Amino acid sequence: MQKPLVPKVAQPKGENRRIPAEMLAERRWTIKRKLVQNMLARYNYLFNARKKLALITHNVSRQGQDNYNYLLPFYPYSLQSLGLSVGDLDTVIEKASINIQIHDPRSKWIDDSYLLIGQAYFFQGEWDKANRTFQFINTTYAPKKKSDYKAVVGSSEKDQLSIASREKRKPPFGYFKHTYARNDAFVWRAKTLLEMKEFDEARSMMNILEQDPYFPKRLAGEMAEVRAYALYKQERFAEVINPLQIAVKSKGNKDERARMYFILGQLYTNYSKPDSATMMFHKVIKQKPDPIMDFQARIQIAKLDATREGGSLDESLARLKRMVRKEKYFEFRDAIYYTMANLILPKDQDQAMEYLRQSLKVESNNTMQKALSFKGVADIYYGQRRYRLARDYYDSTASVMPPEFTDSAIVNKRKRVLSDVATRVEAIQREDSLQRIAAMPESDRTIFLEKMAGQMRKEAEEKAKKDKENAEKGIVDPQQMANNNPLSNMMNNNSPAAPKADDKGEWYFYNNATKAAGFSEFKKRWGNRPLADNWRRSQTGPVAANQPVTLEDENGNPVSGAGKTPADSTNAKSLAAGLPLTPDDLLKSNIIVEDAYYDLGKLYNDQLDNTELAIETYDTLLNRYPQHPHKQEVIYSLYIWHTKLGHTALAAKYKQNVVTQFGDSKFASIIKYGALQDINESKKKEISTSYDSVYVNYLRGNLEEAYNMKKAADSSYGLNFMQPKFDLLEAMIIMKMDTCEFGRQAVVNVINKYKQDDAVQEKAKSLLEALDNRAALVVYLARLEIEKSRDNGNVVDENISIQYPWQKPEPKFETDKVKTAATDSVKVDASTANAALQVKPLPAPLKPVTIYKLDAKNPHFVIMYFLRTNKAAIEEALTQFTRYNAEKHGGENIQVANFVLTQQDVMLIFRLFPNEDKALDYYDEIRSDAEKIVPRIRPSDYTMFIISRDNFIQMNSTKDVEGYRKFFNDTYITQ
């Protein structure tokens, strides 16, 4: 055998061994090697990694359900809780990394491998790693000058800053040339910066790239999408439309294209362009999206046709009625009826109520829609001031609404407050009725009460007769069993879990005859009993069964005079016993009414946020009872509420009343000095000194210390005469600490709080303008070129003419590629009586809702979650930890078991710990000793966390391991 010309050199083993890529880089870069290496690098690991990542992201994009009553989220998932399998993304990173290590680094596909790694980190939510990967691509693969062979990150070409890599793609052969991954990395880095909430840096990069002469046109659509996403995240929706029009044309995936068209339709709807919005929704239907989006697009078209020229409300309702009859829309009938109710509501509340009832009657598993329909009924009753019925339907809404229901706070508040409101409204109505009857002449009053008593006796007799007949026939009156619950009435025969009417099952509650007989027997022994816990206690025993029952009308309000005498024994004398016939009784009745009006005003404004109704209530109070004991507070409240609503003239009138009539009161002091008048000058001086100290620390840059000092001043002095300045200074401190979100919100809060203080308003608005244009200023300063004029070689002056970036127009997007309506004509005007028919602007997209809750006393598990599924490793870990617990925790009975959540999500569960503290102690112990207990399992192959039993049930139901891991990392402090 012929010996080789060059003897083989043994490769060092272990850490000093060189990777194949380093050795390949030392060989000559011949044409043959170039072809082979490029082909292997592209079609081996890189091809499979790309295919894997595309499959992962495509599957995720089709998960979850959207609430179409709000602006859709820009992407069909939240990147913070993707629910992606970490193991699958690690596989993508591993394949791309191997591709880099085993192939020649001079291959033109190596930068694509790095790009794929960065994308995998991005979808994992590892923003910092993704950002550093894209930065590495931008720096390492930048174009090189032949003179010095040093990387140039940016250059100046024709007075324009260029950071992109030039791509020569002239047709026809240019389209087949390889593209630089470096340009793609710029786009992906901008996306990453947005997720990191670095809006200023992302916007600066996008501004440069959009004006870069070498930035390739093939990425114009993606760059427009990133800009649209940035504006969407910042809720600058009016500016989203133009870049989104460009982005939608570059999308090859029809699902993504349909979503963008739908968002465009929603935005056009919000900004009163119904023709363009209708065109966008028709484009959605042409993409043949999933059935839900197709249905929602047709619903939006029906809504818009009721408001634009060429359409009508009747035609829209007719179209929706045809949809109800079609079989393919049967599962959406509840939403169709709900839409019909919203369209007809401004014109006919009774018909809207009927549609809402039909929406609740149809069989559906859509709890979100049921909650919306229940709330629709409750809102109608609330608007009609039928508060008891409104409260019942808000209660039904609360019982079915999912955690992400956006109006849950309103529903829960109204459900809680409306009981108090209803009590006071009924008290006013009752006392007014009694006073009106008492004011009649005695002869007329006697006749009136006799007629009322006769009517009550007649109704009682008819009811008793009907109850007796029903009892003999074994028929149960459903109203007696419903417990005044609209949810049971609506859903009794519609729930999938409920038995059918003809069900002849053997269970007691499925047999109507047996159930009726049992009810009759119960009634004979115990009487008419309300449904309540502990009903057999002495205070609700048999004696109480004979107590009179309070009669109510159809609205649930108690009938005057009822409740003292059984209805079948009522007469005029018994009814007259409760009338305010004496001056003392009349005074007591008026006090009840006064107090009810006084409480109602506070409830309307403070609890229900209905300032208009609060003003109406207090106006009525002052008209009926001008000498009310709380008159000064009532007038001051009217001044505050009119100011809140912008009623300048009325606010000034009530303000003057407080100052002139009640000049010595605390309310006049608040108006004059912005707070309670300080007792002495030394207190004022102390407050001023404190403010100066905070301001000095702010100027010196000691922001955290200044912020703490301001909070200490709030605690020490409370509401004081310098409060507006203190709050403005606090906003300035927060603005410097966080310019993106909290800083802006702090300034907006000051503007809203001190609308009457012109000086504070002027300063706050100037700060807000600076915040809004900060990003443009950063870009401007980055590009600023200073020209120096010289005279005899000496520097004379700096000739700089500054024009602020926000004084220049924004970059113009070409929109002629996306056809929209030439004109948008709205049929109804805001000044007309039918203005309520207009489609209201949709709220911002829903924020992700955390379904996990903290409960330190709940039993807990400790979890070892494997990032890479390896059966041998899991079995070894199970064995070793079982042995460890037997040795270290023999008396604590800690059990270890493996648990398969999904095929990719496998974990070890250590149980059961009585509370959070015990679980955390064990978690800290085994986390530090895990490398000793299972030395053959790398720490990068698993992660550990604790979870309560209730949260584990939620996680097992949703299969959302990543969502809980994020909750754990955000909630618990671990080292």
Q: Could you write out the DSSP letters of every residue in 345-369?
A: TTT-HHHHHHHHHHHHHS----HHH
Long-range contact pairs involving 362-367 (C-beta distance under 8 Å, separation at least 24)? 362/333, 362/334, 362/337, 362/494, 363/494, 363/496, 364/331, 364/333, 364/334, 365/496, 366/334, 366/335, 367/400, 367/401, 367/402
Residue 503, pLDDT score:
41
Written as six digits, the tokens of 371 are: 């909650």
Q: Residue 83's closest CA among 66, 64, 69?
A: 64
Please report the pLDDT score of residue 151 as a whole number. Answer: 40
Check if the beta carbon of residue 592 is closer than 8 Å to that of residue 427.
Answer: yes
Residue of higher predicted confidence among 136 and 750? 136
Confidence of residue 764 (pLDDT cuts 50, 70, 90): confident
Which residues does 202 contact at the CB level (< 8 Å), separation at least 6?
A: 190, 193, 194, 226, 230
pTM here is 0.52
Backbone angles phi, psi at 558, to 5 degrees: -70, 140
Q: Are 900 and 908 in contact (CB under 8 A)?
A: no
pLDDT of residue 834: 39
Judge whether 393 and 377 are in contact, CB under 8 Å: yes
Tokens of 176: 């087949």
pLDDT at 269 over 50: yes
Q: Of 675 and 380, which is predicted with more confidence?
A: 380
Beta strands in 629-723 (DSSP E): none
**H/E segment holding residue 306:** none
Residue-wise DSSP of 543-611: HHHTSPPPPB-TTSPBPTTTTSS-GGG--HHHHHTTS--SHHHHHHHHHHHHHHHHHHHHIIIIIT--H
397 alpha-carbon distance from chain centroid: 18
Distances (CA, A) of 31 to 35, 36, 38, 168, 480: 6, 9, 10, 21, 92
Burial of 248 from C-beta contacts in 10 A (0-12 / 13-18 / 19+): buried
Residue 494 in 3-state DSSP? coil
According to DSSP, residue 769 is labeled H
Indicate the average pLDDT of the chain.
74
Enter the tokens of residue 331: 């599962």
Alpha carbon separation from 847 to 228, 231, 347, 852 (Å, rounded): 18, 16, 33, 15
Phi, psi dihedrals of residue 144, rounded to the nearest 5°: -115, 140
Rounded average pLDDT over 875-888: 87
CA distance 762 to 198: 28
Q: 794-799 and 787-791 as β-strands: parallel, antiparallel, unpaired?
A: antiparallel
The tens digit of pLDDT for each residue in 906-943 reads: 888 998 888 888 888 898 888 888 888 888 888 878 88
Which two structure tokens, joined as six digits, stand for 838? 């207009």
**Looking at the chain, how many residues does it have?**
975
Where residue 527 falls among pLDDT bands split at 50, 70, 90?
A: low
Which residue do the tokens 């001008």 mark? Answer: 626
Has residue 4 got a pLDDT over 70? Answer: no
When pLDDT is cut at 50, 70 and 90, the band that residue 828 belongs to is very low
pLDDT of residue 320: 86
* pLDDT at residue 847, as a whole number: 57
Percentage of the chain beyond pLDDT 70 is 71
Lowest mean pLDDT among 141-150, 360-369, 696-705, 783-792: 783-792
| Contacts (Cβ under 8 Å, ≥6 apart) of 908 | 863, 864, 866, 874, 877, 878, 881, 896, 897, 898, 899
Q: Identify which of 206-215, 768-777, 814-823 has the greatest average pLDDT.
A: 206-215
The tens digit of pLDDT for each residue in 650-678 reads: 888 888 888 777 766 767 766 665 545 54
pLDDT value at position 176?
62
CB atoms within 10 A of CB 479: 9
**Residue 22 Cα distances to 19, 94, 138, 142, 430, angstroms:** 6, 18, 21, 21, 93
* Torsion angles phi and psi, residue 156, rounded to 5: -110, 115
**Sheet arrangement for strand 906-913:** 895-900, 906-913, 860-866, 942-948
Could you give the angle at the alpha carbon of 105 between the alpha carbons of 100 and 111, nearest 5°?
65
Task: Report the largest interatomic distance among the alpha carbons of the chain, rounded to a whole angstrom.
Answer: 138
For 602-616, letters b (16+ CB in 10 Å) and e give ebbbebbeebebbbe
* DSSP output for 863-898: EEEESS--HHHHHHHHHHHHHHHHHHSTTTT-EEEE
Q: Are 946 and 863 in contact (CB under 8 A)?
A: yes
Lowest mean pLDDT among 43-47, 226-230, 551-555: 551-555
> Averaged over 276-280, what is the pLDDT?
89
Count of beta carbons in the 10 Å neighbourhood of residue 165: 20
Please check whether residue 814 is in contact with residue 224, taking contact to mean a CB–CB distance below 8 angstroms.
Answer: no
Residue 90: predicted pLDDT:
82
The pLDDT of 598-607, averaged and rounded, is 85
The answer to which of 167-171, 536-540, 556-560, 619-623 has the lowest mean pLDDT is 536-540
